[in-house]
Structure 1
C-alpha cells in the first residue's frame, strides 16, 4: 500500500455564516477522511511534512481555522476563542453529512479535539493529538491578567486602520515564523506555513505581509481547573486516543499527568509516545518518527475497506504489518509507562 501525495488534493470551502472555512482534502475522497486541525497562529501547511507519510487508502481533510490561512475572518466585534474554534468541527461534519469524525490536531488543534471529544464522545471514533493534551495551567491571578490584556489588544487590532499590514521580505518573514514559534519551526520548515499565510504587498511589490487576522494572536485560551479537566477526561472513556510528545517541549507536562492517567485507565486503545529531541512542532521536524506511531494507529482504528476482489495477498500483508506495529507499540508503551 502506498502513501498520500502532497500534490493530490482538492481545495474545499465549507460555508459558514461569516464566510467559509478553507481546506485541502488529500487523497481518498470517496470515504470519510481524518479531519486535521492546526495549532496557534499556524495553518493547514503545518501538516505538509506528515501528509506524504500517511497511508493513501484514507483521506485527510486539513482545514484553516477562522482567521487563519485562507479561511474567512470572524466579523468585527467577535472574539477568537477555543470554544468558538471548536464549533468548526460539527460545522464541517454537517456540511459533509458525517455522523462520526476522526480527529488529528496539533497544539491548539489538539486542545480543540480534546474538548470536542469530551463534550461529544458519541460522534468521535479516534483522536491523534500532537504535543498537547490540555492548555498549560496558569496561576489564577496571572491567568486573569492575561485574559484582560488579550481583550484590550483585540480591541486595538479591531480599530486599526491601515491600507495593508506592515510588509517584509520573505527572508524576514521566515525568521519571524521561527522566532514566533520559539524556534520550534526552524527556517528550513517555515515555508510550509508561509505559503498559506502571506500575500504580496500592493505598496511594495518585493515585500509580503501576513494575511491572517491579527486578532487571532489574542485568542482566548480556556483555563482548566484540575477538577474540571479530570471530569472532562473521564468522558472520553475507551476512545482510541494517541498522544505524541516532543521530549523537549513543555506542553505535555505535570499538569497532564492526571488526565493521561485517566486516559490510560481501562483503555486498551490509548497510546502515548515521546519523540526524543522533539520540540513543540514535533510533527514537522520529526515527521517520520511521528509517522511510525500514527500510521499503525490509523490502520488499526480506521483500517482499509477490503473487498473480495482486492484481497490477493493484501490481507495477509496488512495483518503482518499490524502485528509488527502492535509489538513495537507495546514496547514503546512499556518504555514510557512511567509518564
Structure 2
C-alpha cells in the first residue's frame, strides 16, 4: 500500500524546504562512525554550531534558521544515536558529558580555533559545560529554554540510576537482535511525537523532526518505525553538584543569551535556576535573559517569536571568522 497524498506531502515537506534554502547534508567521520548534520548558509564562513535536545535531531532548527540573517552560517548536527548519525557501540550507554569529545572532534575536523553555539535543551546543557571548561574556545552562546545542568535530589538520582541501567540492558539486548521496532502510521507518528512532548511540538512542525527519525517498515509498508537508538530513553542524567555548576557559571564571560519559554518547566527547583541567573548577571556583562510566550519547543513551533531576539544578538556580537577557509563538506 502506498502513502496517501497527504502523508506523501508531509514526508516531502522537509526535502522541499531544504532545497528551497540551499541546505546541504554533512557527514563528519569519527571513530564510532559518523556525525550527520545540516549546513545552512555560506560555506566559507565558520558556522554557528547548533545542538538539539534529547531524542530530537538537527531538524529542530528547520523553522528558525530560515528567519535568521542569510550572511550567517549554521551547522545543525545529530548527536550519536539520533537522526542520521551513527549509534554508539553495543554495550555502551549514552552520557551527555561524553559529547564534549564530540565537539572537540568537530572543531578539529573543520580547523576551527573557536566555536559559536545555538542550542536547545540538552544541547544547551552541553554547550554550557563545554564553554565553562574551555572558555577561550567559545565566542558566543545562545541557549534555548535550558540554561544549565539540572540539580536533582540525591534520592531521585539514585532511583533514576537504579532504574535506568537495567532498562538500558534490555534495550541494548533488543538492539543486538536487529528486530524491527513497533510500527505506526504517519499520522500516529505525529500524534505520538505531539503528545509525547506534552504538545510542545505542534502537529504542523512534527514532520521536521520525524524526517530524520523514522524509516518505512519492511513488515507493514504503510507504516513507519522510529530509528533513534532506544537506549537513549534510559539516560541517567547529569550528576553535577550545584556547587560545580555555579563555578561553571562564573567562567562564562562570553556573549550569552538565554531565551526562556514562559510555559516550560524548569526541570529542577527554581531556586537553583535563580541562583545561576544571578551569578551570570553579576559576573558576565554580556549575559542577557529573555522570555517568550510558548512551550519548550517554542523555537520550532513559534520561531517568529525567537528569531528577532537571535537576530539582534547576532548583529551585536557575531562577526565573520576571516581565518576560516571554505569548510569541507
User: Which TM class, normalised by the smaller chain length?
Assistant: 0.7 to 0.9
Tell me, what secondary structure is at the counterpart of 2:199? coil
Deviation (angstroms), 1:139: 1.5
Deviation at 1:267, TM superposition (A): 2.5
Question: 1:299 offset after TM fit, Å?
Answer: 1.7
Aligned to 2:257: 242
Structure-2 residue corresponding to 1:286: 302
Residue equivalent to 1:261: 278
In structure 2, the CA distance between the partners of 1:195 and 1:221, relative to structure 1 (3 Å rule), is same
CA contact (8 A) 2:45 2:321 kept: no
| SS of structure 1 residue aligned to 2:24 | strand
- The whole-number CA distance in structure 2 between the counterparts of 1:192 and 1:259 is 32
CA distance in 1, matches of 2:20, 2:164: 36
1:91 paired residue number: 105
Q: Deviations over 1:135-176 (max 9, x none)?
A: 333221111110221111111001112531111001111111
CA contact (8 A) 1:132 1:245 kept: yes
Deviations 1:52-111 (A, max 9, x none): 111011110000000000000000011101111232211110100001000111000000
Q: In 2, distance between residues paired with 1:34 and 1:94? A: 15
**After superposition, where does 1:40-189 map in structure 2 within 5 Å?**
40-160=54-174, 161-189=177-205
SS of the residue 1:206 aligns to: coil
Q: How many residues are treated as equivalent by the alignment?
A: 301
Q: How many Å separate the matches in 2 of 1:75 and 1:206? A: 31
Paired with 1:6 and 1:104, the residues of 2 have a C-alpha distance of: 22
SS in 2 for 1:110: helix
Aligned equivalents of 2:283, 2:251: Cα separation in 1: 13
> Is 1:193 paired with 2:205?
no
Displacement after TM superposition at 1:209 (Å): 0.3
How many angstroms does 1:5 deviate by?
8.1
Q: In 2, Cα distance between the equivalents of 1:44 and 1:99?
A: 23
Task: Report if aligned partners of 2:46, 2:321 keep a CA contact under 8 Å in 1.
Answer: no
Instruction: Kindly report the root-mean-square deviation, in angstroms, between the aligned alpha carbons of the 2 structures.
Output: 1.7
2:290 counterpart residue number? 273
Instruction: Say whether the 8 Å CA contact 2:80–2:87 is kept in structure 1.
Output: yes
SS at the partner of 1:188?
A: coil
In structure 2, what is the equivalent of residue 311 of structure 1?
A: none
2:80, 2:86 within 8 Å by CA — same for their partners in 1?
A: yes
Q: 1:126/1:305 Cα in 2 relative to 1: closer, same or farther (>3 Å)?
A: closer
Unaligned 5+ segments in structure 1 are 307-339
SS of residue paired to 1:24 = strand
Whether the aligned pair in 1 keeps the contact of 2:57 and 2:209 (CA below 8 Å) is yes
The gaps in structure 2 that reach 5 residues or longer are 1-17, 323-329
Cα distance in structure 1, aligned partners of 2:100 and 2:28: 15
CA contact (8 A) 1:22 1:64 kept: yes
TM-score normalised by the chain length of structure 1 = 0.85
CA distance in structure 2 between the partners assigned to 1:204 and 1:266 by the alignment: 57
Distance 1:5 1:299, change over 3 A: farther
Residue aligned with 1:182, SS: coil
Residue aligning to 2:318:
302
Which whole-Å CA distance do the structure 2 matches of 1:147 and 1:104 have between them?
A: 30
